[in-house]
Amino acid sequence: MPDEFTRIATHLAPLAGPEGLGLLDDAAILKPQAGRELVLTVDQMLEGIHFLPNDPPDLIARKLLRRNLSDLAAMAATPAGYLLTTALPPNTPESWLEQFAQGLAQDQEEYAIKLFGGDSSSSQTHISLTATFIGHVAPGQALRRNGARPGDLIYVTGTIGDAALGLRARKGELLDPTGYLTQRSLLPSPRINLPLAGIASAAIDVSDGLLQDILHICKASGLAATIQAAQIPTFPEAAAFGETYQEARLTDGDDYELVLAIQPENQTALHAACGDVPVHQIGVFHPGPPTVTVLDISGAPITFSKQGWRHF
């Protein structure tokens, strides 16, 4: 395998924006756009924890970027670029890095972002990756988790739980004849560039799991939440499993959809802002200790084996 510097020059330097200085320096130089605030986030992906050893390298790369893009989406920030760290075991084939870089290139094009810099290392046994993203937003316009108010409606984009089923399909635990669920698990579609400032009171992306992520808003905003299980949007292929995987769909995460707190009078504006992106109301924030209660169709609370989700 070529040495570290040759690999950087071959595979990563072509991805660098001018901020990256050809990846020849100790750091990147960024000229912040006047009148904008910067939004900074970092996420890691570890082999065996966040991806499976045989996942396609290009999809690992794209998911790494998209998980971070989803964090920017939750703040209503516009992405600009990222720093990358890679730690690869010595026996990692050159083709792995080549395909990984192809995935980066594809999503850089898709999302109009550039590589700003990074760090590469060898690792002992497993691949570990991080991306630090830099986005920007008009001053004071970033969405936060702490802005929800009593009476705000809880909306979600897209469908929830597909990735949880997709992961099980990738492990051979269930059938996914069309490949749709697998695709949702391998390659999420972050909801970036929705003009939600002034419309949503609070936002978060569904990474830890729908209930956990709603609980994050509850804690930050000092509210309780009640949601209706039957109103949680479910893709038909996922709905076909009925309640068999209900807990997994609501607690596994990895959907990278947005949860939004919306004042009732902002619902029309919300639908206009989301355009073709589907949004559905699933519940409401209300006064109370930080708790997420899930009601079944009869109005009775559903208890999950992870009790924490209801009383945390």
Contacts with a second copy by CB under 8 A lie at: 19, 21, 24-32, 34, 37-44, 46, 48-50, 71-72, 74-75, 77, 83-85, 87, 116-119, 121-126, 128, 130, 132-135, 137, 139, 142, 144-146, 204-205, 216, 219-220
Does an H or E element contain 131, and which?
A: strand 128-137
Q: How far is the CB of 24 from a second copy (least distance, A)?
A: 5
Closest CA to 30 of 84, 83, 76: 83
| CB 11, CB 118: distance < 8 Å | no
Nearer to a second copy, 48 or 179 (CB): 48
Q: How far is the CB of 247 from a second copy (least distance, A)?
A: 18
Q: Which residues fall within 8 angstroms of residue 108, CB to CB, at 6 or more apart? A: 15, 65, 114, 115
Closest CA to 184 of 168, 203, 205: 168
| 177 secondary structure, DSSP code | T
Q: How far is the CB of 84 from a second copy (least distance, A)?
A: 8
Beta bridge partners of 301: 295
Q: How far is the CB of 208 from a second copy (least distance, A)?
A: 9
Q: How far is the CB of 198 from a second copy (least distance, A)?
A: 17
d(CA 27, CA 116) in angstroms, rounded, equals: 8
Q: How far is the CB of 203 from a second copy (least distance, A)?
A: 8
Q: How far is the CB of 135 from a second copy (least distance, A)?
A: 7
Nearer to a second copy, 20 or 103 (CB): 20
Angle, helices 94-111/57-74, rounded to nearest 10 degrees:
30
Token representation of residue 160: 């929830």
Nearer to a second copy, 118 or 158 (CB): 118
How many CB atoms neighbour CB 15 within 10 A? Answer: 20
Nearer to a second copy, 57 or 135 (CB): 135
Cα angle 275-109-139, degrees, rounded to a multiple of 5: 60
Nearer to a second copy, 121 or 303 (CB): 121
Nearer to a second copy, 89 or 295 (CB): 89
How many CB atoms neighbour CB 37 within 10 A? Answer: 16
Nearer to a second copy, 61 or 77 (CB): 77
